């Protein structure tokens, strides 16, 4: 069973930055998170889950939602099998629980479809002065 773990969430002031990490385990022998597309999603209290960004597994191309474009960046380190979400110029409205998600049938597109099989437990980002 694939398991994902996010880390890096914290409380920061408006304008601050964070880098979230996503690591995976439970893959088939010889397989790592590098073989999977990975999406980042967030959910604020009382709001629907929102797709934030994703990165493909074949060419590491990325998509970022319009709501965070220019401030959030998704990347992958194939040396450590880790996917990152860099959050810059954070705003109070970015406060949410951030999740990474993956499965080998999911396609990373600008739709940021949340119909994904495997999810982490989330890491909390709070932006407050």
Counting as low any pLDDT under 50, the low residues of the chain are none
Q: Where are the beta strands (DSSP E) in the chain?
A: 3-7, 11-12, 18-25, 38-43, 50-55, 62-64, 72-77, 82-87, 96-102, 118-119, 123-127
- Provide the mean pLDDT of the chain: 96
Residue whose token pair is 């022998």: 29
Q: pLDDT at position 44, please?
A: 96
Q: pLDDT at position 39, please?
A: 98
| Cα angle, residue 108 at apex, residues 26 and 67 outer, rounded to 5° | 115
Q: pLDDT at position 103, please?
A: 93
């Amino acid at each position: 069973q694939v398991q994902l773990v996010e880390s890096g969430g914290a409380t920061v002031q408006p304008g601050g930055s964070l880098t979230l990490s996503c690591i995976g385990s439970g893959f088939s022998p010889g397989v790592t998170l590098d073989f999977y597309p990975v999406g980042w999603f967030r959910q604020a209290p009382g709001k629907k889950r929102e797709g934030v960004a994703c990165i493909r597994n074949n060419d590491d191309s990325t998509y970022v939602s319009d709501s965070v474009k220019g401030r959030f960046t998704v990347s992958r380190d194939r040396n450590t099998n880790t996917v990152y979400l860099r959050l810059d110029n954070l705003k109070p409205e970015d406060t949410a629980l951030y999740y990474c998600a993956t499965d080998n049938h999911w396609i990373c597109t600008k739709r940021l479809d949340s119909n994904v099989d495997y999810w982490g437990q989330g890491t909390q980002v709070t932006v407050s002065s």
